[in-house]
Structure 1
Amino acid sequence: MISLRKLFKQSPDPREARRPLWNAVVAAARAPHWYEAGDVPDTLDGRFDMISLVMALVLHRIDDDPDQALAGVELTELFVTDMDGQMRQIGFGDMVVGKQIGRMVGALGGRLGAYRAPDGSDDLRAALVRNLWRGNAPADAGLAHVMAEVAALRGALNAIPVAELIVADRLPAAV
């Protein structure tokens, strides 16, 4: 006879295998240097923009290994779940959360395309100014810092196998 406990036992959420990587993305995006030396606004929008930037770089790296595509999907689902929870914690109601999540996912999608621009390129510079500073370029030193850090992070991500990245609990240090 099947016990009730077995009948109602929930399977572990497979996305939880990506939780350490998601936490690493958030930690990297919240590193003080982005906001201090990089002049990224330390606001809700600025934090979202930085998470989207780091997330895009990580997803680009995962995309390099088609065998790990599911990990990218799981990581993106954690992004959505976390953004939903953050908005509810701030006080957004059910009617607003769905629309906002849709906008956030759309914004992430746009950034995924924009941040494929080569390091140091005018296209990348324009995408960063448009997304991180809402079109108002920061001081040259701030923009230079962010450009250099994006290139360093992309290089560090490219230096490790995707299979190691998707189980990482922190992002690789810039080389």
Structure 2
Amino acid sequence: MSFLNDLLGRKNPNLVMQPLYNAVIAEGRQLDWYEQGAVPDTLDGRFDMIAAILCAVMIRLEQAEEARQEIAWLTELFVTDMEGQLRQIGIGDLIVGKRVGEMMGALGGRLGAYRNALTGTADLAEALTRNLYRGEAPAQEALNFTTKCFSSFYDHIVKTDIGQVIAGNIARANS
């Protein structure tokens, strides 16, 4: 099938977007988010951190007209991964669809909140408190760290060539 896709000029979305998705996961699992930023090191906390990084990347992709298809492909990888994660922790078939739907709703809400905050129409610390910390603000030092690093990460990917972002070259410099 790959040969036919190459011949017909079609891209395999999994092959195209997997490096970026892997980079999103790697960034969302960086220890400093949890240690210095006090993001809860729980299933929910990790989901929230990965969703935050994914939102920042999707907002960056929205800025490039030629990357619209990649947003859909990246979202599909997220859904597939989250479905697999739910099954791995023992969620049954009857509940998986509902939970994935809830996760997608949460991602959509976060995308709007982070878009507003990262483009300057809302406060980033408030958006992080509401979405990353689920309304329970951490110590001010931790919130300052996360706000600074998340903003810095976004600024970094905005300055990065869109082709490099799609290739997964999004790692931020050590904080």
Name the TM-score, length of structure 1 as normaliser. Answer: 0.88
Contact 1:118 1:124 in 2 (8 A): yes
- In 2, the alpha carbon distance for the partners of 1:84 and 1:20 equals 19
What amino acid is aligned across from residue 162 of structure 1 in structure 2? I
Q: Cα distance, 1:167 vs. partner?
A: 1.5
User: Following superposition of structure 1 onto structure 2, how do residues 116-135 of structure 1 map, counting pairs within 5 Å?
Assistant: 116=115, 117-118=117-118, 123-135=123-135
Deviations 1:102-145 (A, max 9, x none): 00011110011000114788622111111122211100011000
C-alpha distance in 2, partners of 1:14/1:102?
22
Counterpart for residue 20 of structure 1? 19
Secondary structure of 2:40's partner?
coil
Could you list the per-position Cα deviations for residues 29-84 of structure 1 after superposition, in whole angstroms to 9, with x for gaps in the alignment? Answer: 00000000000000000000000000000000000001111111101100000000
Q: 1:49 to 1:165 in 2, by over 3 A?
A: same
Match of 1:89 in 2: 88
SS in 2 for 1:134: coil
Mean Cα deviation higher: 124-133 or 43-52 = 124-133
**Aligned pairs (5 A) from 1:65-76:** 65-76=64-75
Are 2:153 and 1:153 equivalent residues in the alignment?
yes
- Could you tell me which amino acid in structure 2 is paired with residue 156 of structure 1? H
Number of aligned residue pairs: give it.
Answer: 167
Partner of 2:8: none
Contact 1:119 1:150 in 2 (8 A): no
Q: Which runs of 4+ in 1 moved over 2 A?
A: 9-16, 118-123, 172-175
**1:115 match: secondary structure:** helix
TM-score with structure 2 setting the length? 0.88
Cα RMSD of the aligned pairs, angstroms, is 2.2
Question: Match of 1:130, as an amino acid?
Answer: R
80-89 or 111-120: which moved more?
111-120
Alpha carbons of structure 1 residues 82 and 114: separation in structure 2 relative to 1, 3 Å: same
1:101 partner amino acid? V
2:75 aligned partner, one-letter code: T
Show the 5 A alignment for 1:1-175: 13-116=12-115, 117-118=117-118, 123-168=123-168, 170-174=169-173
Name the larger-Rg structure: 1
Partners of 2:145 and 2:125 in 1: CA distance: 11
